[in-house]
Structures are given as structure tokens and as C-alpha cells.
Amino acid sequence: MANIHILMALLLVSVSIIGTQAQAAGRFVQPPVPAPDASAGDCEQLARVPNAPMSVEACKAMMGMAMGFEAAAADPSAQRPADDAMSCFQIFAELKTMAGVGISDATATQSAAVVKDGTALATRQAGELTAFIAESYALGAGAGLLSAYTPNFVGAAIAAAWQAKLTALAAKAQAEQAPINARMDQAMLANTLEMSRAMQANPRFARLAQLGIKKNCEPPAADAK
């Protein structure tokens, strides 16, 4: 199973949403947004959040998958007497025997691509923001030194120009992030749908994933690619 790392990470994120007040996962460089509570109805709050970290639909899908995950993992048919004693190696070894279970290669590729593009965008935007901050400090220092020798309207013009540049930088970042957010939403929906189907069809899969999360297992190097 070449995408064990992705499915385990998705389950970890989904389950952690339930019953928490943690902030939504940092979707690149946007401001943090409080995560919904453990009710799909709270996902509706996202409709009122500008540039929300996920859509209402994706939020509800993840909530449903997380609750389905807990139910499937607790299914008596998924339990084995020695489960708690299983090592991470044994957990992944059994997961690899479940052909066709989990996230498809196509969906894994889609998810990896949007994460890669989003990370690249975040890196570039962080650099632009750092440069703007450095420029702002220099501008502020310069304006302070010249304030005694220049009319008030000059300082006001400098401040207005700085504000305009900040507004333009924020608008540019949001415009660039919008298509990444849309692609992330599509990937999340595809992941949750496939994971939900897999857990319903094979509760043992959910149980193994639960054990792996509980034990903080990292996938073997060959499977993390």
C-alpha cells in the first residue's frame, strides 16, 4: 500500500477535530480560524468565515468520517485479543495485506500535488511578507529621521502608500490562495469518501488505523513515498 502515510495522516487529522477547540489546520499563510466543534451543524459557521480553511461540505464529510471511524474501530468484528500488544511493524504489515483498502493511488496523487503546490505558494508568500516587513521598518526609520524636516502631508502620503501596498499584498495572497483552497477541498472530499467506504466495508482496517494513531506509528520508509 503506497499511500499508508497519507491515509494515516488523514485519519489523525479527522479524529482530532472531534471534541476539540483547536485551530483549523494552517492552510498555508491564511490567518488561523477556530475549528468547528464535534457537531456537523457547527460546520455551517464556516460559511460566514472569509477565506475559510475548508468548505461546509468538506467539514461535514470529515466530521462524518471521523465518527464513522470510531464506530468501525469499535465493531466487535474488528477486534483481536492481542491488538494492544501489536507493534507498529505488525500493524503496517497487516494493513499491507488489505489490497484495495484505503485511498486510491489517483486520490493520493491528487492530494500530494495540492500539498506540494500549496507549500510552494506558502514559501513564496512568506518571503514576500518578510520583504515587506523589512521594507516597512526601513521606511519607518527613514520617516522618523526626516519628520523634523518635512511637512506633515509628506508623512501622510508615505503612510497612505504603505497602507495601499499592504492592502495590495493581502489581496494578491488571497487571490493566489483561492484556487489552492478549492483543490484542497476537492482532495479532502475524495479522501473522506474513499476512507469512509473502506472503513464501512472493512472495520478491521479502521481498528488497525486506530491502533497506529494511538501508538504514534510512522510508516516504513518504503511506504512513505
Give the pLDDT confidence score for residue 139 in this predicted structure.
Answer: 66
Can you give the pLDDT at residue 154?
56
Q: What does the pLDDT read at residue 18?
A: 32
Low-confidence spans in the chain with pLDDT less than 70: 1-41, 139-155, 158, 221-225
What is the spatial distance between Cα 180 and Cα 184, in angstroms, rounded to a whole number?
6
The pLDDT score that the predictor gives to residue 90 is 93
Q: Residue 1 half-sphere exposure, CB side, CA atoms within 13 Å?
A: 23
pLDDT of residue 80: 95
Q: What is the pTM of this model?
A: 0.63
Q: Where are the alpha helices (DSSP H) in the chain?
A: 4-17, 56-73, 88-95, 105-146, 152-201, 203-214
CA distance 93 to 23: 34
- Per DSSP, the three-state class of 23 is strand
Q: pLDDT value at position 116?
A: 87
